[in-house]
Amino acid sequence: MRPPRNLKRYLSVFRIRLAYSLQYRTAALAGIATQFFWGFLLIMVYSAFYSSSTSQPPMSLPQLVTYIWLQQAFLAFIMLWFRDEELFGLITTGNIAYELCRPGELYGFWYAKLLAQRIASALLKCLPIMGTAFFLPKSYQMMLPPDVLSAGLFIISLLLGLLVLVGISMFIYISVFYTMSPYGSLLLFNVIGEFLAGMIIPVPLMPDWLQDIVYLFPFSWTADFPFRVYSGHFHHTEAAVGIMLQLIWLTVLVTLGRLAMKQALRRVVIQGG
Amino acid sequence: MKLFMRYLSILFRSQMQYKTSFWLLTVGQFFTPFTMIAGIWFLFERFGSLRGWDFHEVAICFAVIHMAFAISECFARGFDTFASLIVSGDFDRLLVRPRSTFLQVLGSKFEFTRIGRLAQSSIVLIWATASASIDWTPLKALTLGLMILSGTIIFAGIFILVATLCFWTVQGLEIANILTNGGKEMAQYPLQIYERWVVRFFTFIIPFGCVNYLPLQYILGRTDGDEMFYSLTPLAGFLFFFLCLIVWQFGVRHYRSTGS
């Protein structure tokens, strides 16, 4: 669809941003410590729940432990709110005018920027976290995926999930054009989105009626789905169908996002300054 | 105290400048713990009970700690964002004013949107205490109040402690999140479900266990003798806060300006 030269432009934005974000290694280290703390905490809570369970839960405890560690390792792929004061600042200070002068479509630029940020953050965190989680004592240990095919499907679905997630988060930035102060609209969106993505409790542990609602929204396709592919909770055919659905969501989100961005830019008022 | 009120009213007016955002934030704050308590409820629906605790009892734990956190974040936010004062060198200005640094930093920022969160937790608390079977006595009610107050003070103490660290590190420490958010997250369940080292740390070093788990035993009538002791455990929070203040004073004396 796009000419290759265009694509190259977005790629270079992506590369610059990636290098920029990778500089904050100390911050990442602190982040890793925090993530371990969360991981341990959640596992302890769930173990306590499982030990007093009367019926067979829909997900085994080792599967759940793996799910939790994946969540911690790929937190950057789940959180809707990835602090980017820069983009908000651009809109509220009026510096957006510069961005508009740049060649190329704003949607693509920002998309590449946000994508790079998330990948950088995940790159710094996922290896140390997963590397350690494989060797923890038994009750905290992370499992390997059941077979090679599941591992492959996991990687595909994880990447697609990331693309879907950035597609969703673009709407947050577009909304700032209307509200000017980002935090309000963001928080509400965030709270609901993260719940539906299985951040508060994993989707399989939710009651059935709630799961039906969850699957109507794109949020669970970002991270919950790939994690369950990894743990073998979704089998190969189910995983393949899911990946198709991810592709459909991605197309819908990007198309709508670009339309919304065009609308927003048409009525944008530069605040001087 | 008068000065504190002045700070309050000024910052309140400044935050009301962005009305839509303020209300959206408040509503958002209302829903944040809402999804959490909903999550806990779903877990109870799935699993039945949690090591002998039922949902109402855990909800009391949850509500107490979230109320404390909300109040503390509303008023002690200045310490939470203290790193920016150090980085910009603005702390120098506070030092030359004839008021205590504690009061000035405290008054430098308030987050009124936390009222949303407070409202939500209060509703949970009222509902949970009404549905759990408790024989109320005046002392028990007093203990409950003390639990919230003490929790607030512990969170404020942690904010102060972390702010004090900025005197040496200049930059704020992300890792401090473990103590504030992590502490909140952890203490929303009864402490007993965790491993022993966690329980020890959060009882004797940072006394979160003393603001909900231990006194709750008393309120729910589960103590074996020694009721007075259990009802007074929240006082440990005040001791913790006092120690934090001493550390703060120590930090201020060792402050070296960044000069910018």
Average pLDDT in the B83-107 region?
A: 76
Taking alpha carbons only, the member of A189, A219, A224 closest to residue A203 is: A224
- Residue of A5 and B248 predicted with greater confidence: B248
The alpha carbon of A116 is separated from its chain's Cα centroid by a whole number of angstroms, namely 12
pLDDT at A193 over 70: yes
Average pLDDT in the A100-125 region?
A: 78
Q: Which amino acid is at B27?
A: V
At residue B179, the pLDDT reads 78
Q: Flag whether B259 is in a domain.
A: no
pLDDT at A185 over 70: no
At residue A273, the pLDDT reads 46
- Are the beta carbons of B226 and B234 closer than 8 angstroms? no
What 8-state DSSP symbol labels residue A28?
H
Average pLDDT in the A132-160 region?
A: 83
Q: Flag whether A91 is in a domain.
A: yes
Q: Is ipTM over 0.85?
A: no
Flag if B47 and A57 touch (Cβ within 8 Å).
yes
pLDDT for B116-128, tens place per residue? 888 888 888 888 8
Q: Flag whether A105 is in a domain.
A: yes
Q: Which residues pair with B174 in a beta bridge?
A: none
| Length reported for chain B | 260
**CA–CA min distance B135, chain A (Å):** 27
Residues of the domain holding B144: 2-8+18-253
pLDDT for B65-94, tens place per residue? 888 888 888 888 777 777 777 777 777 777
Q: Flag whether B258 is in a domain.
A: no
Q: Flag whether A271 is in a domain.
A: no
Burial class (CB in 10 A: 0-12, 13-18, 19+), A132: middle
pLDDT for A208-224, tens place per residue? 888 888 888 888 888 88
- Are the beta carbons of A41 and B186 closer than 8 angstroms? yes
Q: Flag whether A273 is in a domain.
A: no
At residue A1, the pLDDT reads 44
What 8-state DSSP symbol labels residue B254?
T
At residue A143, the pLDDT reads 80
The verdict on B112 touching A (C-beta cutoff 8 Å) is no
Residue A66 tokens, joined: 């793996």
The alpha carbon of B189 is separated from its chain's Cα centroid by a whole number of angstroms, namely 15
- Are the beta carbons of B249 and B166 closer than 8 angstroms? no
Q: Which residue has the tokens 């909800």?
A: B59
pTM > 0.90: yes or no: no
pLDDT for A80-95, tens place per residue? 766 666 666 676 666 6
**CA–CA min distance B202, chain A (Å):** 13
Q: Which of residues 167-226 of B touch A (CB under 8 A)?
A: 173-175, 177-178, 182, 185-186, 189, 193-195, 198
- Give contacts of B36 with chain A, Cβ < 8 Å: 200
**CA–CA min distance A191, chain B (Å):** 6
pLDDT-above-70 percentage for chain A:
81
- Range in A209-213, B14-18, B43-47, B148-152 the model is least confident about: B14-18
C-alpha B85/C-alpha B161 separation (Å) is: 15
C-alpha B247/C-alpha B257 separation (Å) is: 18
C-alpha A108/C-alpha A245 separation (Å) is: 22
Residues of the domain holding A50: 4-266
Among A38, A179, A191, whose Cβ lies nearest the Cβ of B35? A191
- Are the beta carbons of B52 and A51 closer than 8 angstroms? no
Q: Flag whether B128 is in a domain.
A: yes
B199 phi, psi to nearest 5 deg: -60, -45
The verdict on A51 touching B (C-beta cutoff 8 Å) is yes
Flag if A191 and B182 touch (Cβ within 8 Å).
no
Q: Flag whether A248 is in a domain.
A: yes
Q: Flag whether B150 is in a domain.
A: yes
Domain count, chain A: 1
Domain count, chain B: 1
